[in-house]
Amino acid sequence: MNKIKMLNPIVELDGDEMTRILWQKIKDVLILPYVDLKSEYYDLGLPERERTKDQVTIDAANAIKKYGVGVKCATITPNAQRVEEYKLSQMWKSPNGTVRSILDGTVFRAPILVDGIKPLVSNWNKPITIARHAYGDVYAGVEAYVPEGGKVYISLPNGEQKLIKDLPSAGIIQAMHNTDKSISSFARSCFNYAVSTKQDLWFSSKDTISKIYDHRFKDIFQEIYQNEYKDKFEALGIEYFYTLIDDAVARVMRSSGGYIWACKNYDGDVMSDMLATSFGSLAMMTSVLVSPEGNYEFEAAHGTVTRHYYKHLKGEETSTNSVATIFAWTGALAKRGQLDGLDDLVEFAHKLEKATLDTIESGTMTKDLVGLFHKDGVEAKGVNSFAFLEAIAQRL
Ligand code: NAP
Ligand code: MG
């Protein structure tokens, strides 16, 4: 069989534990037999991060900037226990955090919908994609307990000491910030992603109460939309609109889905968990980091599935869901194909996605999905990690 040829590489970021095992298997069973894969490989497994003093993560992020498309396996973010387990010289930073800060990107998360797994919100029949601003606000806040009689000031660049609050009694204060630069990057990533996926974009905040802070977000989005994206949106027949967060929540609950919901950092943190829960499972969520320059890094939303990995090491059978990791690959292959004008690569990516969904819809799935699956005339059968991949391959 003639394999599909590629022009430019995909940057491949390998990872840890169970997802690393699945990563290799997915390539062997579902990609390499069909695609003459060009990838620039970076091993972000924890031992290699330790060996290179985390330089490999920085190099991988820069390679994504160079080639425009990356695909990442889940990786361990070390904590004290991992420092011990892997004999690390340092508690290396989260690789996702490092890549995100180099690409200055925004993360978009969307559920993978399957006929047979109904969202808890029954009218959501199309995916809802959440775009979470990943910089500042309460996540970089400064807090203090202020004893009785305390006052709070800020120093302005002109040397003025401005009294913010004369507290009526002992209490707490919190200061937070954001920057025009980060908000603008967030806005451009959202507009680019809306154009690339041809979906409406909603943005919500609380500007009626936060008349300077949240209002700045609203103004920056509006200005960038007017100056850079309005024509593109109109040509595609898609819409950008701003609404208050409360109104957005009400509209989202009534909607049938099929749009991108851009959220400030805290809103996105909370709302993405609500969405993931309603749509079923983290193993059925795609996640893509989009930079304002239009670089893409595709990944799964879940972690390295440690508990399954230790079973696997003991020689026990696992039933780990590989759907999100497969969709990270198909996302990257389709984007590469789209950028390089390779229709057969785009087509293959869609075929692999369809084969994956068809496998589940006809009753073969990993055990995490069995309890969620209800379809007339189809009995759900839970299979092991590798049998699931083989079943997909049967359909390619
Ligand atoms: P996790 O790996 O997502 O797993 C938590 C639990 O969720 C699993 O034990 C499993 O439940 C279930 N689960 C998650 N993904 C699954 C899948 N594909 N198939 C079946 N079940 C799945 O989260 P964690 O245990 O909190 O974190 C483990 C490691 O991953 C940590 O070292 C963390 O730093 C890292 N992490 C990486 C990323 C990333 O790279 N993007 C994200 C999050 C966490 P059962 O055990 O009940 O079967
Ligand atoms: Mg959260």
**Cα–Cα distance list, 348 to 123, 156, 338, 345 (Å):** 31, 57, 12, 5
pLDDT at 375 over 90: yes
Find residue 14's DSSP bridge partners.
Answer: 43
Instruction: Report pLDDT for 358.
Output: 98
What pLDDT band is residue 108 in, cutting at 50, 70 and 90?
very high
What pLDDT band is residue 356 in, cutting at 50, 70 and 90?
very high
Instruction: Report pLDDT for 374.
Output: 94
Distance from Cα 318 to the centre of ligand 1, integer Å: 14
In sequence order, the 6+-apart residues with CB closer than 8 A to the CB of 189 are 105, 106, 131, 290, 291, 292
Q: Residue 152: helix, strand or coil by DSSP? A: strand
Q: To which CATH superfamily is domain 118-137+176-279 assigned?
A: Isopropylmalate Dehydrogenase (3.40.718.10)
Helix axes 17-26, 385-394, angle to 10 degrees: 20
Instruction: Report pLDDT for 218.
Output: 97
Q: Where are the alpha helices (DSSP H) in 174-256?
A: 180-197, 213-224, 230-236, 245-254
Domain ranges for the chain, please list them. 1-112+293-396, 118-137+176-279, 142-174
pLDDT at 280 over 80: no
Fold for domain 1-112+293-396?
Answer: Isopropylmalate Dehydrogenase (3.40.718)
pLDDT tens-digit profile of 187-222?
Answer: 999 999 999 999 999 999 999 999 999 999 999 999
> Average pLDDT for residues 65-91, to the nearest whole number?
96
Q: Does ligand 1 lie within 6 Å of residue 303's CB atom?
A: yes
Of the CA atoms within 13 Å of residue 201, those in its CB half-sphere come to 29
pTM of the model: 0.90
Tell me how far apart the alpha carbons of residues 371 and 105 are, in angstroms, rounded to a whole number: 36
Instruction: Report pLDDT for 272.
Output: 87
Q: Which of 49-58, 208-217, 275-284 has the lowest mean pLDDT?
A: 275-284
Tell me how far apart the alpha carbons of residues 69 and 208 are, in angstroms, rounded to a whole number: 39
Tell me how far apart the alpha carbons of residues 203 and 242 are, in angstroms, rounded to a whole number: 5
Instruction: Report pLDDT for 220.
Output: 98
> Average pLDDT for residues 369-383, to the nearest whole number?
95
pLDDT at 260 over 90: yes
Query: Which residue, by CA, sits nearest to atom 21 of ligand 1?
Result: 320
- Comparing 1-112+293-396 with 118-137+176-279, is the CATH topology the same? yes
User: For a pLDDT cut of 70, what percent of the chain falls above it?
Assistant: 100
pLDDT tens-digit profile of 293-327?
Answer: 889 999 998 999 999 999 999 999 999 999 999 99
**Closest ligand, as measured to the CA of 76:** 1
Query: Which residue, by CA, sits nearest to atom 41 of ligand 1?
Result: 74
Find residue 12's DSSP bridge partners.
Answer: 41, 71
pLDDT at 335 over 90: yes
Report yes or no: 319 and 385 within 8 Å, Cβ to Cβ. Answer: yes
Tell me how far apart the alpha carbons of residues 49 and 294 are, in angstroms, rounded to a whole number: 27
Query: Which residue, by CA, sits nearest to atom 30 of ligand 1?
Result: 303
pLDDT at 13 over 90: yes
